[in-house]
Amino acid sequence: MIPAIRGTHDILPGEVERWQRVEAVARDIFERYGYAEVRTPVIEREELFAKGTGETTDIVQKEMYAFTDKGGERITLRPEATPSLVRVFVEHSLEQAMAVPKIYLMGPMFRYERPQKGRYRQFHQLDVEVFGISDPAIDAEVLDLAWALVTELGIANVELVINSVGCAACRPAFAEALVKALGADVTSLCTDCQRRATVNPLRIFDCKVPQDQPVIDRLPHSIDYLCASCREHFDAVVGHLGVYGIPYRISHRLVRGLDYYTRTTFEILGGNIGAQNAILGGGRYDGLVKQLGGPDRVGIGFAAGIERLVLAMPDDAGVGTRSPVFVAAMGEAARGTAIGLLRDLRRAGLEAHMEYEGRSIKSQMKRADRIKAVLTLIIGDDELAAGEVAIKDMKTSEQVRVPRDGAVAHVKSRLAK
């Protein structure tokens, strides 16, 4: 046996129905908020993420599945979708093509992380992005969309945390304040943090090393260093959340592990899914489009981990809503009629099964039980001669006979009740 690669996982029948439910609910919500679907390649130029996600991030430094292809190009499996969607926005001039460029993507992402519950090397995201709108009302709308996704999936015990990381104008003063506050303590931090302190002090907040946490907890808060317009923006976002009636908590540590964020950052945490409890995360990225070679346009969005949504969803969510029926035949002649009936049931939109190996009626009925058939249609010699079908209710064991021609309509009306 050649097993699957560490950090990847198969999604099997029994679980896949929950994935389908997440995808269906997400599509419905995204479309209600005016987003259109986009599909992009899983391979991109490495440069897109080095520049987009950021050279100093853990993703780019440690986690990318990057390689040189046979033509000598540096390629990577995408670790996230935002730079790809910015590329799409620029490369296909979506600004001209769409009244409001709001797009979403669903698909696999790849990060070479240490696998654990809720954390994989190939995982899947639902990602939404909206371009060109600076008004804080759109930040709040995106937050409302994220909240709708989580609540419509029935996920309980969730918390929205938000922060503002400022902009290119006020960030340098905050970075400087961080370095100053660290002072001599910097030498007591892990080697990653020592490097972060010189190249990008904000990244220190990404540190997970337990011994570093007391020092990090004492660091200044970005929110106290916002310039007047960032402050105004943040206050307006929070004000809108009040109008939407969405509860939130301000978290000073929420700088997020990607370099492009400006102003609003947020996550939804919880859902009783263990240590990896960020169900989704996102924020505003006002300089990214320009940085990736596009026009000077702002953007905001978020991505949710599908594995984490599926894990956090209640057990009864996404159970199949179909009612299977079974067709049993006794004898070779009846079998021909059974196959015709099976086809007619499926054409009529019903889930229908039969036994292929031509076993005894007893074993066919056993099979009907195993697939949890609601009704079983039985055709034996008697029924065949009369041009009829016996229909057995699998719960009550009651049986009726109906004409062959009316059998599909009869089953449909019984299932509709």
Binding site for ligand HAM (CB under 6 A): 80-82, 111, 113, 118-120, 123, 125, 127, 129, 258, 278-283, 301-305, 307-308
In whole angstroms, give the CA distance from residue 104 to residue 308. Answer: 18
- Tracing tokens 């304040």 back to the chain, one arrives at 177
Q: With left for phi above 0 and alpha for psi between -120 and 50, is residue 185 left, alpha or beta?
A: alpha
Strand 399-403 with 388-393, pairing: antiparallel
Q: Which of 80/383 has CB closer to ligand HAM?
A: 80
Q: How many CA atoms lie within 13 A of 89 on its CB side?
A: 32
Amino acid at residue number 346: R
Residues in the chain: 417
Q: Scan for tokens 């908020």, then name that residue.
A: 33
Q: How far is the CB of 257 from ligand HAM (least distance, A)?
A: 6
Residue 45 host element (H or E): strand 43-45
Min dist CB 116 to ligand HAM, Å, is: 9
Look up residue 3 and give its DSSP letter: P
Min. distance of Cβ 318 from ligand HAM in angstroms? Answer: 18
Q: Which residue, 163 or 376, has its beta carbon nearer to ligand HAM? A: 163
Q: Which lies closer to ligand HAM via its Cβ, residue 165 or residue 279?
A: 279
How far is 270 from 265, CA to CA, in rounded Å?
17
Determine contact, residues 38/103, Cβ cutoff 8 Å.
Answer: yes
Smallest separation (angstroms) from ligand HAM to the CB of 141 = 14
Distance spanning both ends of the chain, measured CA to CA:
47
- How far CA 295 is from CA of 5, 264, 327, in Å, comes to 40, 21, 62
Nearer CB in complex with ligand HAM: 186/204: 204
CB neighbours of 225 closer than 8 A, spacing ≥ 6?
A: 166, 170, 173, 174, 177
In contact, 21 and 49? CB cutoff 8 Å = no
Sorted by sequence, the CB contacts under 8 Å of residue 74 that are 6+ apart come out as 45, 46, 47, 66, 67, 68
Q: Toward ligand HAM, which CB reaches closer, 45 or 410? A: 45
Helix (H) or strand (E) segment spanning residue 176: helix 171-182
CA atoms within 13 A on the CB side of 11: 14
Least separation in angstroms between residue 57's CB and ligand HAM is 9
Task: In angstroms, give the least distance from the CB of 74 to ligand HAM.
Answer: 21
* Nearest residue relative to ligand HAM (C-beta): 305
Q: How far is the CB of 176 from ligand HAM (least distance, A)?
A: 26
Alpha-carbon distance of 124 to 104, in angstroms, equals 13
Instruction: Report the nearest approach of ligand HAM to the CB of residue 53 (Å).
Output: 8
Residue number with CB closer to ligand HAM (166 or 305): 305
Nearer to ligand HAM by Cβ, of 120 and 225: the residue is 120
Nearer to ligand HAM, 115 or 154 (CB): 115
Q: How far is the CB of 261 from ligand HAM (least distance, A)?
A: 7
CB of 83 to ligand HAM, least distance (A): 8
User: In whole angstroms, how far apart are CA 130 and each of 85, 151, 280, 333, 363?
Assistant: 10, 21, 16, 61, 57
- Distance of closest approach, residue 81 Cβ to ligand HAM, in angstroms: 6
Which residues, 6 or more positions from 191, have their beta carbon under 8 angstroms from its beta carbon?
none
